Amino acid sequence: MATSLINTTVLTPKKLLEDSAVVVSDEGKITYVGPMEDVPHVDGRQLDLNGYVVTPGFIDVHVHGGRGIVFGMPNEMEDDLRKYSEWVAQTGVTGFLLSIAAPDAELLTAIIEIYAELFGKEMPGAEPLGLHLEGPFLSREKKGAFNPAWLREPDLGETEAFLNAGRGWIRQVTLAPELPGAEEVASKFREAGVVVAMGHTNTDFETASAALRDNWNHVTHTFNAQRGFEHRAPGVFGAVLASDDVTAELIADLIHVHPGAMKILVRSVGVDRVVLITDAMPGAGLDDGVYDLVGHEVTVKSGRATLEDGTLAGSTALLSQCVGNAVREVGVSLNHAVQMATLNPARVMGFVDRLGTVAKGKDASLTVIDKDVNVFLTMVKGKIVYQNL
């Protein structure tokens, strides 16, 4: 059924279009974006949004789960994926990468293979866009919440097995560049069209800078689980600031990164290069409690997820909250905050031909919010999967 969203403000997100409308075809494509006075008449439903804001659907490219679900649990993967898809759509997310890990190569390969089969099935809410392998080729010195037994040196044989099992669904891999064999493995992933992200790394400025000029083109949760900045040893963060076009993830939950540091990142590299993520774990969307994540027991208290020793272990944030925090705490415009959760991740991960902007011909994967980033409607490929108007 065709749908007309009328009396709305549209954030494309590069432009703000007031007193506008969006028309969606039966096929789930956007056929019109423009002023109300020129909106074409189509047969189908008409939703009066009364000034609410239409944005591209939010895209989370780094998330481990939520609402009690952790990705990659054997025997529960399809059911969990469907439940997560339905729940996360209520938060404005229309697409996501599943961040996964496993204790050994055999199990990780099996998990990848199962997801590659599942991704061909229709989901009730947000669209699974592929996989993010966070590990196993990470630094034990900057392991974060990972069980160190799950981490090892890069291996070409494992890499080939992962890629073969994924059949094109692996979109991103996090890899520490200082590890032996990292360059060869990074090259293999890039040849397969995978985004190689620098993360969980204790490397120095020089090694990081060389990597970011070579096969690494993205940075996993900037600031977190990486060597920090010092004026005589700029570290990974210094390499990010000194780079020309590398994109940088940011967990804007106000727990992982101080608002002042967030401002430094955004003002230094610009809004076009920052990608908002949640790095959410199973406790997202639920009350405080104890949860399992990447081989550890994680306690959530007052929304803060930690290991027994106090190490942060993912977040409980929603992407809509991160967008709102970027506006309130970083001082960017709503347009720019939305861009960092829509256009930027779509561009980095190779989905910008159909996602990331509100434009004629694109998939009608849209989110309707107010100016405080409360979510009122989510549409995925023309289908309304959540509504609270």
Strands 53-56 and 45-48: unpaired
Same domain, 44 and 62: no
Q: Please compute the mean of the pLDDT values over residues 305-334 and round it to a whole number.
A: 96
Report the run of H or E that residue 241 belongs to, with start and end: helix 235-242
- Tell me, what's the pLDDT at 293? 79
| Alpha-carbon span 199 to 203, nearest angstrom | 10
Which residues have CB under 8 Å from 223's CB, separation 6+? 237, 250, 256, 257, 261, 265
Q: Which two tokens stand for residue 80?
A: 């969990």
Same domain, 264 and 212: yes
Total Cβ atoms within 10 A of residue 176: 31
- Tell me, what's the pLDDT at 82? 98
| Alpha-carbon span 119 to 130, nearest angstrom | 8
| Alpha-carbon span 227 to 350, nearest angstrom | 28
- Tell me, what's the pLDDT at 366? 98
Mean pLDDT (the chain) is 97
| β-sheet bridge partners, residue 383 | 380
Same domain, 301 and 379: no
Residue 74, pLDDT > 90, answer no
Q: What is the CATH number of the domain that holds 26?
A: 2.30.40.10
Residue 350, pLDDT > 80, answer yes
Same domain, 24 and 149: no
Q: Please compute the mean of the pLDDT values over residues 307-313 and round it to a whole number.
A: 93
Domain residues for the domain of 278 are 58-349
- Tell me, what's the pLDDT at 75? 85
- Tell me, what's the pLDDT at 359? 98
Which residues have CB under 8 Å from 356's CB, separation 6+? 56, 59, 342, 343, 344, 345, 346, 347, 362
Which residues have CB under 8 Å from 263's CB, separation 6+? 330, 331
Task: Provide the domain count of the chain.
Answer: 2
Instruction: Give the pLDDT band (50/70/90) at residue 381.
Output: very high
Q: Please compute the mean of the pLDDT values over residues 95-104 and round it to a whole number.
A: 97
Same domain, 237 and 338: yes
Same domain, 260 and 176: yes
Q: Which two tokens stand for residue 300?
A: 């959530």
Same domain, 262 and 345: yes
Burial category of 214 from C-beta neighbours within 10 Å (exposed 0-12, middle 13-18, buried 19 and up): middle
Same domain, 86 and 213: yes
| Alpha-carbon span 119 to 53, nearest angstrom | 30
Percent of the chain surpassing pLDDT 90: 96
Q: Is the pTM of this model over 0.95?
A: yes
Same domain, 15 and 92: no
Q: What is the CATH number of the domain that holds 214?
A: 3.20.20.140
User: What tens digit of pLDDT does each residue of 270-299 get?
Assistant: 999 999 999 999 999 999 999 987 677 899
Instruction: Give the pLDDT band (50/70/90) at residue 1.
Output: confident
Instruction: Give the pLDDT band (50/70/90) at residue 239.
Output: very high
- Tell me, what's the pLDDT at 296? 79
User: Dihedral sign, CA of 293, 294, 295, 300?
Assistant: negative
Q: Which two tokens stand for residue 327?
A: 């506006």
Which residues have CB under 8 Å from 309's CB, separation 6+? none
Percent of the chain surpassing pLDDT 70: 100
| Alpha-carbon span 7 to 37, nearest angstrom | 10
Same domain, 162 and 277: yes
Q: Which two tokens stand for residue 179?
A: 């590890």
Same domain, 294 and 154: yes
Q: Please compute the mean of the pLDDT values over residues 202-226 and round it to a whole number.
A: 98
Q: How far apart are the first and last CA of the chain?
A: 19
Q: Provide the annotated active-site residues.
A: 279
User: What tens digit of pLDDT does each residue of 5-40 get?
Assistant: 999 999 999 999 999 999 999 999 999 999 999 999
Same domain, 17 and 67: no
